[in-house]
């Protein structure tokens, strides 16, 4: 069953194309940032799929996006320019950051013209963010209705919320299982599961998640209490090779704070009379990307709580090269974990990772964490 998620992760485009064949009257919409409220598309009977990079060197984005934009934004745009997402009926984003926003702007100029754009507030700490986002989502809903030629009812929205909330609860259940001393799945396996969920019809994903929890994870010991418990956090990250390398060193990644991981699903939509407002509230309240964590630093105590709850010995912070919001948290984040006695290393991700160099840094971290065993 974990293998089924691995299969979807590796063959995400085939999955979407098959879905379209099975649902010939429905549409597939790509979204770039996890702040886009997918529930709106799902309520309209569509399949929302996250657009991620392929981690393969490419030479197609140079004429469209300046080299100092983050490798993720360039890798994402490359997928469109190379035609890998040619099955999309539209592309969408909530305002992500300038880098991914640049990829979106170029994508809509050169790849997919039909677009949906939500002005996601950055300063989610203001009480005016929820009413503003609610208003923008109501308009987005109307735009979708005009496109598909039918109304999206409150009942459609509530159904979508239920399906998505179930998905969030199931993923959260898997993360809770990772609190155990003998962890039932590796961090790499978990990344396959969470990231594959970004591409899947949530009803399919939920069915598979239930089966995986019941029939595969319960009673399983993928790693033992002897393995060093780590947390990964930072920018978008689905770098399987990197995680795999880390876990080869008698270490296990037990939790994360990535938009392809826990940040994506952590909090549910809380029920309210107005489903659009409920959705808006959820996206305002979700665990923060540094892009939206100001003026007060709320992310750091949240990360510390997570590290403690999952009994983490050390942290690997991973940041996409040139990712300004994460870079602007770097000093505060390293100081914070130093003050709280959690050894942390900070690495920069590119489209492909320099495994050899990173291996040395990771080994050094693990040696530091295990020095009690040495002496």
Partner 1 sequence: MVEKKYKTAPLKSWDKAKEIRLNIYKEIAEAKSKGKVLLGGGAESLIALPTGFDYAMLVGEPYGAAISYLAKSDPDEYMKYVEASEHAGYPRDLCAYMRNYIGSILRDKYVFGGPFPKIDFYLQAGFCDTHSKWYQAVSDITGRPYFSLDLVPFDWEIEGESEKTKDLKRKYIVDQIHEAIAWMEKQTGREFNDETFIQGVLNECESTSLWAKVCIANRAIPAPLDEKTMLSLYVLAVIGRPRNDVVEFYRELLDEVEDRVANQIAANPYETARIITDSQPPWFALDLFRLLETYGVVSVGAHYTFGLSGGWEYDEENKTWEAGKTPQEKGVEVKTRDEAANVLADWWLRTGTVCRGVRHSGAGKIQRIMDMVDRWKVDGAIVHLNRGCEGTSLGQMDIVSSLLERGLPTMTYEGNHADPREYDENRTFARIESFMETMGLKQLYEFKKGE
Size of the site for partner 1 (CB under 8 A): 46
Using rule CB under 8 A, residue 102 touches partner 1 = yes
Using rule CB under 8 A, residue 374 touches partner 1 = no
Q: Which is nearer to partner 1, 99 or 229 (CB)?
A: 99
- Cβ contacts of residue 309 below 8 Å, gap of 6+? 179
Using rule CB under 8 A, residue 101 touches partner 1 = yes
- Cβ contacts of residue 179 below 8 Å, gap of 6+? 254, 309, 310, 311
**31 DSSP β-pair partners:** 50, 92
- Cβ atoms within 10 Å of 263's Cβ, excluding its own: 21
Say how far apart CA 332 and CA 297 lie, in whole Å.
Answer: 9
The answer to whether 231 and 315 are in contact (CB under 8 A) is: yes
Q: Which is nearer to partner 1, 124 or 183 (CB)?
A: 124
Query: How many residues in the chain?
Result: 375
Can you tell me which of 119, 181, 211, 339 binds partner 1, judged by CB under 8 A? 119
Range 66-85, binding partner 1 (CB under 8 A): 66, 68-69
Site string for partner 1, 121-140 (x = CB under 8 A): xxx--xxxx--x--xx--x-
Residue identified by tokens 């503003």 is 132
Using rule CB under 8 A, residue 187 touches partner 1 = no
Q: At what angle do helices 275-285 and 154-177 cross, to 10 degrees?
A: 30
Range 318-347, binding partner 1 (CB under 8 A): 321-322, 324-325, 327-332, 334
Q: Which is nearer to partner 1, 245 or 288 (CB)?
A: 288
Side-chain-side CA neighbours of 238 within 13 Å: the count stands at 25
Say how far apart CA 255 and CA 313 lie, in whole Å.
Answer: 12
Q: Which is nearer to partner 1, 331 or 374 (CB)?
A: 331
Task: Please give the residue ranges that form the binding site for partner 1 (CB under 8 A).
Answer: 62-66, 68-69, 95, 97-99, 101-102, 105-106, 108-109, 117, 119, 121-123, 126-129, 132, 135-136, 139, 290-291, 294-295, 297, 321-322, 324-325, 327-332, 334
């Amino acid at each position: 069953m974990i293998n089924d998620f691995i299969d979807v992760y590796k063959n995400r485009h085939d999955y979407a194309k098959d879905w379209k064949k099975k649902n010939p009257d429905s549409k597939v919409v790509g979204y770039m940032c996890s702040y886009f409220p997918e529930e709106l598309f799902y309520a309209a009977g569509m399949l929302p799929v996250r657009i991620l990079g392929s981690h393969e060197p490419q030479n197609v984005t140079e004429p469209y996006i300046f080299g100092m934009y983050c490798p993720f934004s360039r890798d994402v745009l490359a997928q469109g320019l190379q035609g890998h997402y040619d099955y999309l009926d539209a592309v969408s984003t909530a305002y992500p950051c300038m880098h991914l926003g640049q990829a979106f702007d170029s994508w809509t100029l050169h790849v997919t013209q039909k677009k949906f754009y939500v002005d996601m507030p950055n300063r989610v700490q203001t009480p005016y963010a929820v009413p503003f986002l609610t208003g923008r989502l109501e308009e987005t809903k109307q735009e979708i209705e005009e496109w598909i030629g039918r109304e999206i009812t409150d009942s459609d929205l509530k159904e979508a919320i239920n399906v998505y909330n179930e998905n969030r609860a199931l993923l959260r259940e898997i993360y809770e299982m990772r609190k155990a001393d003998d962890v039932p799945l590796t961090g790499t396996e978990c990344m396959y599961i969470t990231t594959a969920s970004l591409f899947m019809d949530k009803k399919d994903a939920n069915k598979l998640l239930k089966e995986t929890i019941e029939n595969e994870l319960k009673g399983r010991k993928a790693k033992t209490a002897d393995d060093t418990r780590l947390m990964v956090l930072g920018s978008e990250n689905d770098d399987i090779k990197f995680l795999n390398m880390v876990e080869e060193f008698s270490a296990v990644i037990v939790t994360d704070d990535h938009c392809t991981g826990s940040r994506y699903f952590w909090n549910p939509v809380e029920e309210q009379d107005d489903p659009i407002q409920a959705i808006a509230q959820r996206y305002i309240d979700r665990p923060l990307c540094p892009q939206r964590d100001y003026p007060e630093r709320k992310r750091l105590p949240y990360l510390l709580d997570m590290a403690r709850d999952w009994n983490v010995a050390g942290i690997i912070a991973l940041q996409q090269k040139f990712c300004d919001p994460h870079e602007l948290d770097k000093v505060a984040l390293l100081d914070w974990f130093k003050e709280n006695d959690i050894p942390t290393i900070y690495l920069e991700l590119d489209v492909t990772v320099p495994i050899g160099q990173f291996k040395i840094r990771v080994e050094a971290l693990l040696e530091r964490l295990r020095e009690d065993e040495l002496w």
